[in-house]
Structure 1
């Protein structure tokens, strides 16, 4: 296809005249189907073809020129050529006389005209599509002439602003006044930068006032161009983005509301954790003390019931707090050196006892190929195994519960824990539902087994953190088999120590705190009495402060009384055990103040706050460690001994360097 075939050529002339013109056009490469012919009076019919070149035969002096005059508005949209009388003095390159049209030079002349017609047609087509794009895209065009102090708005931009020619801003200052007052300064700076530095193309959003007084958001873009004559001119485009900005505002408001709701949820959970853990600390602690002092078996059984039910409440609270965490709050695995005995010992012992209480057989098998030393998140592994074993025993009334541990070295070192039981089993259509929060295999009101339905859902979360997997096979009235796979890390081969090879689960003796001094900062009277009694029974000297301010005053006074001690500025205390939520001055503020006044001995947070981030907040305040309530006697005494020894080492180091 030649370039001329892309346009239509209209011939307004008689058929006989057209027979003379068409061969000339064909000789120039025009295809016959690109030519349309009509009498002079049929110009409206020809106009429907949107010709790119229109040739009019006006050579007959008797031609009705009114047709030509009426058609000129349409004809001017394309390149127009006229055939004029031989007596005409019109020498325009767009006029022919019949003798010129039949001359040898006519073909080259026609080719030039055809080329120009094609270019003009293409240009006007582009302009048409451009105007359509501007209209359909709702784009307003504008330019700002610095020398003329004038802002020109395209017709469509005027319509966007609901302006009429008589209401257009007469100068740039009036245009600036249409910009929203809150946006005007930034807009002016952007304009000055464009004129002053001829900066890179800009993108700017601001509000512009329409004629009706409404402010709407517009995205302005463009750049400054120097002109051949006069000063520089900014050429720009404008798009109405009001709906987008309103959507962004609604999204921002929704986000703020969600964040506010999340903060309220966190505050509620924090308070709930504190208000439940604090009394549970006293209940569990005093129950443990009563168990030590009571010789009557009935009383000991009652105390044991108190302990078990309190521990059940504690587990339920932990489940609720764990479930409340969003996906973005999930922590990373915390790997530590351990062994298979370290992972199983306490857990197996606890659930072995529970199985015996129900007259169930309880068997344990561990693969001898399991490396003696491995790295795993021991705390989470124990939590997961505890939940799975607890369910297995809960839903098994006769038969056995077993745990089998296998080592899978490839493709990555993995421990496979298989917990099997001969319990009630799970219907096939309920197997997947048991991993949803608050769902159980039997949700009927007549079920025989209590529980919140949170355990397996939380197991799944913990397993996800550890990059593991959990699958289940179950048959009603036959039993269930849970297969847990958790990747582990194996250290470089090293000789196994005696303790690594020794599977003894003998519990260590409780630590002695004889001679160590503690300041307990706690506002709860019951917890004061409990923790003081536990520490004193282990041989410690304990002082009590009801809030952070009293603790600061106590430390300051003790320092004044011990000025003669040059090697230890705080000889009356080795460790501060700090509750974090107290009246007057809380534990965070008190810890920061102690560190600022040069107190370098250990401060250990003992708090009912157990949400994600609470530990980090305590450490940032200056605490050396963080423990949540309720804390067992064994853990309390181990912590107290560890940090008291550390305090004595700090004092010894100061003495050796003095």
Structure 2
């Protein structure tokens, strides 16, 4: 058993994490463990050396000292023999081998080098962050969870006028929220930072002299060991920025007011020029004179359009926009836009249509003139950039509250074209003033680049939003969408359905059009009237349906179709005995009207 205990003591001695030196009565080293070798070097070089070479500051306990004084701790610097290697900072525990140490000593060495390095690093970091706070150009204040000040940097003294001695321990409201008009803002900020844990706002605070200062406030939580101890509040003085912003807004408003006034003054003589040229064109003029006058008129109208854009934009910029809320017919409003744009569409050979969801109320309360202006801008752009196909105005609606009879509606307007589309890299700034897709646009298509900017501001002024959707692929086009909120008009303004609509219920109508989109639009309109539409994509397909024995009460025929056009199809229908008396309606865009079918002089065949 004695041998076993001796082996255990030897193992503990050898594998201890702390270094151990065994000294004889002459203070020479007689035994060293592995941990001591890592500190001082090989064991063979250490045994027999005076301990003073390794631990110059170590001294044995005084003789006849109290028993507990013999066991003591000392912090010393340890060195390797010959001064090789770095110094180690050690905590030395001295244990006597006999009662008074005359039999030697055991020195237990705990290496403190790493801990001291960590402490030095932490001290350096602390000093660094303290220097950052002290020299910060913004006021940095730490506060407890009860909003009492813990620290107050020099910039806080400069901004608010209180010294650290005056501020420490005080409630933050007692220092910077003493004004009755400011206190509610400070209380709201404190509630937000407690609820959300952080805050960023532009607000006001009060200086020691009672003056109010504009500040940007940021507040963040301060946690240690997972426990929130308080908050750090950062105040940035933005007095100069606020002053500059207000000056810029005043200058911008003055500029807009000037533009609005000048545009109005210039528009008056421009209208006179256009009117006089119109009178001249009604007179007997030579071809050369008529060409000159027409050029003057076209140039004047182009200039007037530019002035109108600038006038509208300036009114909005100057804050002079006021919505006029009146009852209006939604369908008539949209169709009036298409009527104005129909000639431009026909000149380019484009189709133009509208699609209103059947559940929408017919009469709404809103600013119809501003809505019409936005639609004119968007439809005008669609026709400007589209060479083939056409454009469609669609309106969808959602009754707020879920009931279709609800007074409040959220309307979504869409203007879709089949033009070249807008690539992603060219959509940036699309709704900014004077912005166009590229420099060639103004040379090729003209315009001021204000249309979309005006539309965006009008929509936002009416409480809506506007955006664009496009794949940037030619032929797939672009869709501009915007939302508006409106109220259904009172029952007194609602338009009563016509009695003739009852005669249309269940009637079958054949719709012949090569454009699938417009077949769908006509079909939805016919369904809204109670009719049953049947679609056909070409004249030959329509003839095949009729020859197969399909029965219809009327036929709607697109006048301009490839292959068998509307006029030729009408003639073929009239030639058949079974369909000779079938009512035909020839549909054509205004400005592209053709002659009625030569084989038909009956009033049942009409051109729209």
Higher relative contact order (CA 8 A, sep 6+): 1
In the superposition, the TM-score normalised over structure 2's length comes to: 0.39
In the superposition, the TM-score normalised over structure 1's length comes to: 0.36
